[in-house]
Amino acid sequence: MIIYLLEGMFDNMIKENEELEIMHKVTSKEKKILKKALDGIKGWNFNPISVVTNGIEGYYFICKVKTIIDNLQMKMARIYIKIQEDNKPRLLSIEEIA
């Protein structure tokens, strides 16, 4: 199911850059990028299961989501992070998948 979601969601990104990599194992470097970008968001726990990257500046993380508050229903999310010129990750969006 995750592969199906990944293939369907990244059509626009593929049009921009044909050298995308879908990785099912998230490296420690990528986890650090995600953690820095999400710094300051409280009450949400994002566990990355896969990442799509162009190898340079754009990262789409597919994450399982756990929340402290039961009313928040998000189970899976797509997180888009872009690396800025000063090598700092910038969170651009968090979208609910399922």
Question: 8, 98 in Cβ contact below 8 A?
Answer: no
Judged by average pLDDT, the poorest of 2-11, 37-46, 79-88 is 2-11
pLDDT tens, 13-62?
544 555 667 777 889 999 999 999 999 888 888 999 999 887 678 899 99
Q: Is the dihedral of CA 3, 75, 15, 56 positive or negative?
A: negative
Residue 40 is classified by DSSP as T
Which pLDDT score, from 0 to 100, does residue 28 have?
Answer: 92
Closest CA to 59 of 29, 39, 86: 29
Looking at the predicted structure, is the pLDDT value of residue 80 above 90? yes
Which pLDDT score, from 0 to 100, does residue 18 have?
Answer: 55
